[in-house]
Amino acid sequence: MNNDLLFLTKKIGPRISGSVNAKKALNWARKRMLEIAPDTVYLQEVVVPHWERGANEKSFFNTGRKKTEMKVCALGGSIATNGLLQANVLEVKNWDELDLISDNEIRGKFIFFNRAMDPKEIETYKAYLGAVDQRSIGAIEASKRGAIGVLIRSLTLKADDIPHTGAVSYDINTKKIPAAAIGIKSANLLSAALANNPNLMYSLKMECMALPDEKSYNLIGEIRGARFPHEYVTAGAHLDSWDLGEGAADDGTGVVQTLEVLQILKNLDQRPERSFRAILYMNEESGAHGAVQYAKEAREKNETHIAALESDAGGFTPRGFRVDGSLTVVKQIKTWMELFAPYKMGEIYQNQRGIDLLPMKGLSKALISLECDDQRFFDIHHSASDTYDKLNIREVKLGGASMSALSYLILKYGL
371 is catalytic: no
Rounded distance, CA 77 to CA 36, Å?
A: 36
Rounded distance, CA 242 to CA 384, Å?
A: 9
Please name the helix (run of DSSP H) or strand (run of DSSP E) that holds residue 393, with its range, or none.
helix 393-413
Rounded distance, CA 277 to CA 282, Å?
A: 15
**Amino acid found at 408:** Y
Establish how many alpha carbons lie within 13 A of residue 134's alpha carbon, considering only the half-sphere containing its beta carbon.
29
List, in order of start, the domains of the chain with CATH numbers: 2-51+212-413 (3.40.630.10), 58-207 (3.50.30.30)
Rounded distance, CA 266 to CA 260, Å?
A: 10
Query: What does the pLDDT read at residue 374?
Result: 93
Kindly name the residue from 246, 284, 310, 371 that is annotated as catalytic: 284
- Packing angle, helices 393-413 and 327-340, rounded to 10: 130
Query: What does the pLDDT read at residue 63?
Result: 83
Rounded distance, CA 336 to CA 293, Å?
A: 32
Residue 319 CB neighbours (<10 A) = 21
Cis peptide before 251 (omega within 30 of 0): yes
Nearest to 215 by CA among 12, 23, 51, 71: 23
Establish how many alpha carbons lie within 13 A of residue 403's alpha carbon, considering only the half-sphere containing its beta carbon.
41
Kindly give the parts of the chain with pLDDT less than 50. Answer: none
Query: What does the pLDDT read at residue 360?
Result: 98
Query: What does the pLDDT read at residue 1?
Result: 87
Name the burial class of residue 205, with classes exposed (0-12), middle (13-18) and buried (19+) by CB atoms within 10 angstroms of its CB. Answer: buried
Rounded distance, CA 164 to CA 117, Å?
A: 13
